[in-house]
A and B are shown apart, each in its own frame.
Chain A
Amino acid sequence: MPMTASEIEGLIKTAIPDADVTIRDLAGDGDHYAARVVSRSFAGLSRIRQHQAVYAALGGRVGGELHALQLETAVPNTETISE
């Protein structure tokens, strides 16, 4: 069962409430998406941990039900990150 962009966005926002999520359907087949997720909760995390947080939000669907999710994560750049 393919997932819709709004389902993906909803799952991410449930787990990461402050996330700014942009989803693009790459192939129009409901199976290949690109997502950009911006959240303050990523501050101080490595890229690997940031991506893992998004994969966790999607509850094991990535690599299975959701074949392809090209992912980009970032911390809002207006924020000053304190150590």
Chain B
Amino acid sequence: MSDAQNRIADLVKANEVVLFMKGTALFPQCGFSSRAIAILDRLGTGYETVDVLQDPEIRQGIKDYSDWPTVPQLYVRGEFVGGSDIMMEMFESGELQQLLGAEA
């Protein structure tokens, strides 16, 4: 694995809930990242974020890591969950609350 892939693997392992996004939780730089943050904030469970705009290697590497072409990407307990569309579907169905142990 390349250095970027190793760094991503470490971030995914070290954080129970981690969102790779454009911008920060306070200042998302893209509508899709903003939507992902809105969902996580609504659930009220803790999460970490990684701003891919600050790191070109991670920005490219995260696309290869899960064979997924876009950001944001959510990882929970080491598993890739999906992008913002899947997050929204899972939020609406209650699956995301269950996965994150949030109160309904």
Residue numbers of A with Cβ under 8 A of B are 47-48, 51-52, 55, 60, 62-64, 68, 70-72
Write out the residue numbers on chain B whose beta carbons fall within 8 Å of the beta carbon of A55.
Answer: 68-69
Write out the residue numbers on chain B whose beta carbons fall within 8 Å of the beta carbon of A72.
Answer: 85, 89
Residue numbers of B with Cβ under 8 A of A are 31-32, 63, 66-71, 80, 82-83, 85-86, 89-90
Alpha-carbon separation in the docked complex, A49 to B40 (Å): 23
Write out the residue numbers on chain B whose beta carbons fall within 8 Å of the beta carbon of A64.
Answer: 69
Output the nearest chain A residue to B85 by Cβ-Cβ distance: A71
Q: B89–A47 contact, CB under 8 A? A: yes
Write out the residue numbers on chain B whose beta carbons fall within 8 Å of the beta carbon of A60.
Answer: 69
Alpha-carbon separation in the docked complex, A62 to B90 (Å): 22
Alpha-carbon separation in the docked complex, A72 to B63 (Å): 20
Output the nearest chain B residue to A34 by Cβ-Cβ distance: B85
Write out the residue numbers on chain B whose beta carbons fall within 8 Å of the beta carbon of A47.
Answer: 82, 86, 89-90
Given contacts A51-B86, A63-B63, 9 further A-B contacts (CB under 8 A): A47-B82, A48-B80, A48-B86, A51-B82, A52-B67, A60-B69, A62-B70, A63-B71, A64-B69
Q: B82–A48 contact, CB under 8 A? A: yes
* A9 → chain B closest CB, angstroms: 18
* B80 → chain A closest CB, angstroms: 7
* B10 → chain A closest CB, angstroms: 22
Alpha-carbon separation in the docked complex, A60 to B90 (Å): 25
Q: A68–B69 contact, CB under 8 A? A: no
Alpha-carbon separation in the docked complex, A72 to B90 (Å): 12
Contacts A48-B80, A68-B31 given: A63-B85 contact, CB under 8 Å?
no
A/B interface sample: 25 pairs, CB < 8 A: A47-B82, A47-B86, A47-B90, A48-B66, A48-B80, A48-B82, A48-B86, A51-B68, A51-B85, A51-B86, A52-B67, A52-B68, A55-B68, A55-B69, A60-B69, A62-B69, A62-B70, A63-B63, A63-B69, A63-B70, A63-B71, A64-B69, A68-B32, A70-B32, A71-B85
